[in-house]
Amino acid sequence: MTSVGVLGATGAVGQRFVQLLDGHPEFDVSVLTASPASAGDSYREAAKWRLDTPIPEDVAETTVRATDPEEIPDDTDLLFSALPSDVGAAVEPELCEAGFVVSSNSSNARTDEDVPLVIPEVNADHLDLIDVQRDERGWDGALVKNPNCSTITMVPTLAAIDEFGLERVHVSTLQAVSGAGYSGVSSMEILDNVVPHIGGEEAKMETESRKLLGEFTGAEVQYHDAVVSASCNRVPTLDGHLENVFVETDDDPTPADVADALADAPTLDLPSAPDPLIRVFEEPDRPQPRLDRMAGDGMAVAAGGIQTTDTGLQYNCLAHNTIRGAAGASVLNGELLASEGWL
């Protein structure tokens, strides 16, 4: 078994990591970290478990450590990070320098030139950027990122549609409250309401999408030429980001061509990889967050409402933001790292 740790294990994404890693066929959780306020408490005390499956008994009495390289045993093979991005920016490079491989969900460093930003089914080859990173930074460890939750919902569909020549993408999101973390959005702000602004989210979607869809030359990632613009909205659903996507392509595919391309998106033989990657609905009112966020155990993307308009294609897509959009994405990157011999 591969010995793994979870950094920021008590938060919304950290708890998902612990849930997804419970009973994992390859990974065994040996280290849990959080803020100095939680260090020294048992995981049960510190986490205030909020998921709808019981807290895994294997880790419930584990003592939470401070998030510090000196606190991590040398024989930990892989660290999953769910740290706030400012904390990740400070600690993750120190961990990589100390020799640890970090599969991180935090938003820092996602667009650094030598940091692989990976969705395994879309751009697994970008992982080879680790060689460039190690050369440039002199690290024995490595830093690999998964994208933002709203980006990861849309990009598998764009990767499938790219066979028709992706030119322009406009997306409007309806994002669940869990995407902001446990203390992110107050109930007074979101109940009976929609907030048409999520700080920094639009820029992340626009940039990360083009990096993910870009080409790795062996030395760098050349971003995809497509123009991507996003409008991001917080809505009062608990989990599951729904997105309305408008796409202009070189070719003029029919809705049936697009449905086939989405349904045929490649899948991988990794423990957390869903099959199919994209579940395509014919019903015009699907996907919906409450009904479809757990497709493929929360790791699939759901798509539907495919139609052509005067300006091109239109469809809706959905993914579970703390599973495929966060912890599950990092776990899948960890499985890819293990299968390709990077650990």
| Interface positions with ligand NAP (CB under 6 A) | 8-14, 34-35, 37-38, 67, 82-85, 87, 105-107, 148-149, 178-179, 181-182, 321-322, 325-326
11/214 with CB nearer ligand NAP: 11
Q: Is 126 a catalytic residue?
A: no
21/83 with CB nearer ligand NAP: 83
249/321 with CB nearer ligand NAP: 321
Q: In sequence order, which ranges of the chain are alpha helices (DSSP H)? A: 12-21, 43-47, 57-60, 85-97, 120-123, 129-137, 149-161, 187-190, 201-212, 255-263, 289-292, 328-339
Residue with tokens 């109940």: 191
206/248 with CB nearer ligand NAP: 206
Instruction: Mention every residue, 6+ apart, whose C-beta is less than 8 A from residue 70.
Output: none
Catalytic residue among 149, 224, 317, 320: 149
Least spacing, CB of residue 309 vs ligand NAP, in Å:
30
CB neighbourhood size of 111 (10 A): 18
13/247 with CB nearer ligand NAP: 13
Least spacing, CB of residue 184 vs ligand NAP, in Å:
7
Catalytic residue among 126, 224, 241, 320: 241
HSE at residue 314, side-chain half, CA atoms within 13 A, is 9
Nearest to 66 by CA among 108, 5, 144: 5
Structure tokens at 253: 């595919």
Nearest to 334 by CA among 179, 136, 118: 118
151/249 with CB nearer ligand NAP: 151
Least spacing, CB of residue 87 vs ligand NAP, in Å:
4
In this structure, are residues 243 and 155 in contact, taking their beta carbons and an 8 Å threshold?
no
Residue number closest to ligand NAP, CB atom: 11
Nearest to 88 by CA among 73, 74, 71, 105: 105
In this structure, are residues 171 and 317 in contact, taking their beta carbons and an 8 Å threshold?
no
Least spacing, CB of residue 141 vs ligand NAP, in Å:
18
3-class secondary-structure state, position 11: coil
DSSP string, 189-201: HHTT--B---TTH
In this structure, are residues 264 and 211 in contact, taking their beta carbons and an 8 Å threshold?
no
In this structure, are residues 301 and 277 in contact, taking their beta carbons and an 8 Å threshold?
yes
Q: Is 149 a catalytic residue?
A: yes
Active site residues: 149, 241
